[in-house]
Amino acid sequence: MKLTPAQARSIVKMLDFKDGLVVAVACDFKTKDILMVAFQNKEAVLKTLTAGVVHYWSRSRNKLWMKGEESGHIQKLKSVRVDCDGDALLLDVEQVGAACHDGYRSCFYRKVKRDKLGHVMKKKFNPKEVYR
């Protein structure tokens, strides 16, 4: 999906950015699997809605980034749901390749098992071959 800049600005006005950010949860639009959780500032939401591909705000690098800009593993936007408080978004996406920079389809590839984290997924790609 893609909105016009005017439509996207109307949506952004309805959101409640806390310290300039909303939480964004990306889900596979078909399987409903959660792929990743990240943050978006106003610009990232606007870019996501108007370009139709997901952009995030990196808190560690302090910059806007398009998911997949280096790996090619972009997220095509299918629909957007907004929570009751307007401070969290659910992005239903078509994930090209895999979401996680560790090589997994989803960033949530580990599960709590007693006092350990066990892997519950197999790698889809070798990060060393994708990120140089």
Q: Write out the residues near a second copy by the rule CB under 8 A.
A: 1, 3, 6-7, 10-11, 14, 18, 23, 25, 27, 32-34, 36-37, 49, 59, 79-85, 88, 90, 100-102, 104, 107-112, 114-117, 120
In one-letter notation, the amino acid at residue 81 is: R
74 versus 89: smaller Cβ distance to a second copy:
89
In angstroms, give the least distance from the CB of 3 to a second copy. 7
Least separation in angstroms between CB 66 and a second copy? 19
Torsion (CA) 87, 61, 68, 77 in degrees, nearest 10: 10
CB of 23 to a second copy, least distance (A): 5
Measured from the CB of residue 78, what is the shortest distance to a second copy in angstroms? Answer: 11
Nearer to a second copy, 25 or 66 (CB): 25
